[in-house]
Structure formats: C-alpha cells, structure tokens
A = this chain, B = another copy of it.
Amino acid sequence: MLEFAILGLLQESPMHGYELRKELTAKLGAIRAAISYGSLYPTLRRLQAAGWITEAAEAPVTAEEVPALTTRRGRVVYKITADGKERFAQLIAQAGPETYDDTGFGVHFAFFARTDQATRLRILEGRRRKIEERREGLRDVLGRAAERLDAYTLELQRHGLDACEREVRWLEELIANERSGRAPTVPHMGTAGGRREDNSPPPPGETRNERP
C-alpha cells in the first residue's frame, strides 16, 4: 500500500521523505492517520533497491553558498524512474482482495485520477461488493445473535451497519457517475456545510497539474 502511494505521489513531483509524508497525510487524511517514518524510510530504501525510484541529490542553495561547515547530509530528494512508472501501472491493473479493504480501497481511490475508467469501475464495484458482505454480516449478528450481546456491542454494530449502508449509497452514486461519462462529485449527501462554488470535475484521466 505504501509502495503504491509513494510511487503515485512521486509521479507528480520529486520529493524528500518529510515532504512525502506531509503530502501523503493530506491526500490520505480521510482514510488513515499520518504514516509513520518507521515504515516510510525503509520502504523508500526498498523502492530504491528495486530501481523504482532514484536518489536525486538536492542541489544545495545556489550551488556555491554551500557551507560544508557541517556534515551537510541534508534532505534526500527521490524521483520516480521509468521502471517505477511501469510498476505503478502494474499495481493499478492487478487487483487482489486487499484492493477492497478499507485502506487499500482508499489509497487506490486517492489515485483514481491516474487510473483508467474501466479499472475505476472495477474497483468501485469490488468495494461495493465487499461492503455489502460486511453489511450482511452485521445484519446477521443484529438479527440472530442479538440476545447474546450486550447493549453497547449492539449499538456498535448498529453504528457500523449505518456506516455500511451509507458507503454503499456513496459507491452507487460514484458508479453511476462513472458509467455515464463524467467524474466524481456526489451531490453532497451530508449535512456538511456549504459546498464552495465551482468544483467542476476535470475530465477523467490525467488531471493533476504537474509542477514543472
């Protein structure tokens, strides 16, 4: 998962570890807490060893002011390689079961702008199926095993069931949108305050403004 996310982000622009973590946190904030350095740095090393990314030594400020007084290790900027882009494409294409669990789906969804429509559809439907299964499981427990469980556990299940039903509806809308051409923008099902003006969806596909 981390591998996927890093490869995806580095396609937008080269970055060093710290920056990568911040961008990751911003992009994936909805689905998981900040990612740990304890996984980030080892993963970067692994990707580098595999040849998916390379270390692009940061040109120190204006290239002549270099203090060199200190060890001057400084930030290590990583950029994606051609092999890395290929790898990313391959990771998008192949969908294992982990593609549909909470984290896996979230990460894939976050990079939908780099995913072709057919794959987007496949992932959305796979996720829906998975959530529907979870929903049925919860309904079963709430129905059949209700008397075996205490009131708090039951309340937890109800809340979970509600979340499942809500997500299924969300996915339905996304799938419908996807089928009929245009990009996301579910019509604000929440109570969440004011949706800001424009937000016109870009055409599906490559969308993000690459920084030069």
Contact = CB atoms under 8 A, between A and B. Distances in A.
B30 A151 contact: no
A191 to B, nearest CB: 6
Given A156-B110, A190-B165, A26 B151 contact: no
Count of identical protomers in the assembly: 2
A88 interface: no
A58 interface: no
Q: Is the interface of A mostly helix, strand, loop or mixed?
A: helix
Interface string A185-212: 1101111100010010110000110000
A85 interface: no
B163 A163 contact: yes
A56 interface: no
13 contacts: A26-B145, A29-B141, A30-B159, A30-B160, A109-B152, A149-B208, A154-B199, A155-B185, A159-B170, A162-B192, A165-B191, A165-B192, A166-B166
Given A152-B113, A156-B106, A134 B190 contact: no
Interface string A164-197: 0111001000100000000111101111100010
Most buried by B among A113, A155, A162, A202: A155
Contacts of A165: 190-192
A152 B112 contact: yes
Contacts of A163: 163, 166
